Structure 1
Amino acid sequence: MVNGGMSTLEFLGAELRRARKERGLSQDDLAQRISYSSSLVGMVEIGHRTPSQDFITRADAALEASGLFERLLTFVRADAAPPWFREWISVEREATLIRWFEPSLIPGLLQTETYGRAVLRGGGMLRDSEIEQRITARMERQSVLDREQPPEFIAVVDEAVLRRAGR
């Protein structure tokens, strides 16, 4: 949290809006310059959607921000994981073998964006901006499985997890 309860994602959005307005651009103008939709620009500006690296790179260039948004995105990503989980993420990046026992959910490294969002929303304890930050971080964590030498990944889940129908 920064600035009296504002999440880092909301702060990034506020800075994007400030820079856009400083240059006299509407959301539509910026969207056209970076080849994204104006609705996505709006969602990023209010902290309801975590922007992709490509979005940020293009916004930095279009707004001549000298890498400001790339630097802010680093903080958004760092803030996305709960403090108690950050050490695990660091270990996960270097692991050659990951064993996971998850009796009631699909493990985070195997979750789809929709499934992960439903899990995070289900607890009712996180704001939408925090959910979006965590989803983005969770999806980025999955890149550990796509690297040149990915870790061996063994997951044990209850069969009911695999058979449970979504609501």
Structure 2
Amino acid sequence: MSTSVKPGPRERLLLAAQELTYSQGVGIGVDALLKEAGVARRSLYEHFGGKDGLIAEVLRRSTTEDVERYRSTMDAAGDDPRDRILAVVDRLGVIAADPGFHGCRYLAADLALTDPDHPGHEVTREYRRTLRGLFAEEFTALGHARPGFAADQLLLLVDGLLAAGATRPGAGHAAAARDLAEHLVGAGRA
């Protein structure tokens, strides 16, 4: 006979907020978050100091998971940096075409969190710095003359693909993004 252990209030809040802020946005009400998590309001303040702290922690948690997915996608593509970069774009094209896709959680958070001092903004900036670093490493290995600049371009391509996938579903963005990425990995090689 096995017994399952129900996660504690902190974990339930994180799980509920991760799901609801993605599907409904960071403007989701506190009451909805508490109801979904099945916790008292006190738990929110004890564990996160309030909704802002919860949002920042959800973004931090998502960053860890998403960066690992980028790395896994690149690793599965092998050692050739060209293949690794294109695998990221291909994978994001599949994700952006999924009917349940609601866009990039980081871009959505940045747009919705109007307070420039909200702690979530530092998390989204760190997320983008991390991705830029991953991409720059691949462009360096590729022998690109300007790996940092190419990484910035790829980051723009990723943001555009994910935004287009959320706002104009089914419009063939994956093929367009792949074509642009192929151009990007071919340009600037030493």
Bigger CA radius of gyration: 2
> Comparing both structures, which one devotes a greater share of its residues to helix?
2
TM-score by length of 1: 0.29
> Comparing both structures, which one devotes a greater share of its residues to strand?
1
TM-score by length of 2: 0.26
